[in-house]
Amino acid sequence: MPTKFDASGKRWVEMEFLVPGTPDEVWQAMATGPGNTAWFTRAEIEEEIGGRITFHFMPGATSGGTVTQWEPPHRFGYVETGWAENAPPIATEISIVARSGDECLVRMVHSLFSSTADWDDQMEGFESGWPGFIEVLRLYLTRHAGETAASFQLSVDAKGEDLVVWRKLLAGLGHETADAGENWTVDAGEAFFGEVVRVRQDEKQRYLLMRIDGEAPGVGLFGIYRMGETVRLSLCRFFYGADAAAAASASEPKWQAWLEAVAKS
C-alpha cells in the first residue's frame, strides 16, 4: 500500500490483520519486551508513558525510542529516532480490538511529518517487512502464548541474482524447492524437523516460515531480500519453553557460520 499524506505534512502507512488470542494475550505479545522477543526481535520496553523502548535487530543494529501511548490492553504507541540515517522521528501506533471467535483485530500505523517524499520508500518497506513476522506472531499465539522465549536475527550480503541466492539458501537447508504444508528435516545451523507453514516469492522478497517441533520448539524464518544492488540473506530463529535462552545462545553462532557459508557458495 502506498504512503498516505495530508496537508499538515503527516505521512503514514497502515495495516490491519487478525491474530488469535484475547486482547490481554495479544497485548503481552506486542507491548512488552519479552512478548516482542517471541515473534519480532529482542526488545526492552519500560511499560509506561515516557518509558524507554529498545529493539535489538541484527548484531550491532539497535533502534530506540519513547513510549507515547499506554492503555492496556488496547492502545500502545511509541516514537523512534535514528531508524534511518538523518530521518525524522517516526511514530508507531498499535490498537487491539477483540473480535468473535477468540481473535483480535490489530491495526498498526507508522507515521512521520515531512514535506517531501524522501522517506516514503523506507516507510513502505516497513509495511512489506511485517507480513512474515505477523505469521510468526500467529504461530506464537496459537501454540506458545505466554511461554518463555528467546530469539535472534542474522543477515549476510550475497552476490548473484535473487533466484540464484534463493536456491542456494534452500540447498543449504537440504531442499531444492519449498511449498507450504511440507514436512522437513533440516540439518544446518542446528538439526530439527517441522512443517513449512508459508512460502512467499515475489519481486520484493522471498522467504519461508517453518514451525519447528522437537526438543527446541519454535519458529524459523529464512529468506532473502534486495537492498539496492545487494541481495541480503536473512534468518530469524525463535525458541520457546524453559530452555529457550540456552538453545538460542548455543545455535546463534552456528547459524551465523551457516549463513556466511551459503553466501559464499
191-211 per-position pLDDT tens digit: 999 999 999 998 778 999 999
Residue 155 has a CB neighbour count (10 Å cut-off) of 21
Per-residue burial over 216-225, b if 16 or more Cβ lie within 10 Å, else e, is bbbbbbbbbb
pLDDT of residue 40 exceeding 70: yes
118 lies in the same domain as 155: no
Percent of all residues in the chain with a pLDDT value above 90, rounded to a whole number: 72
The answer to whether the predicted template modeling score (pTM) of the entire model surpasses 0.85 is yes
- Tally of structural domains, the chain: 2
For cell 539497535, the residue is 62
Q: Among the three residues 84, 108, 143, which one is the final residue of a domain in this structure?
A: 143
- Indicate whether 191 and 236 sit together in one domain: yes
Burial classification of residue 95, based on how many CB atoms lie within 10 Å of its CB (0-12 exposed, 13-18 middle, 19 or more buried): middle
For range 29-35, the mean pLDDT: 98
What is the domain range of residue 163? Answer: 149-264
The Cβ of residue 211 has, within 10 Å, a number of other Cβ atoms equal to 19
Domain end marker among 108, 143, 178: 143
Across 111-119, average pLDDT = 71
The answer on 155 and 75 residing in a single domain is no
pLDDT at position 115: 63
Residues 131 and 174 grouped into a single domain: no
Q: pLDDT for 209-241, tens place per residue? A: 999 998 889 999 999 988 778 899 999 999 999
Give the span between the Cα atoms of 237 and 246, in whole angstroms: 13
Predicted confidence at residue 144, as pLDDT, reads 96
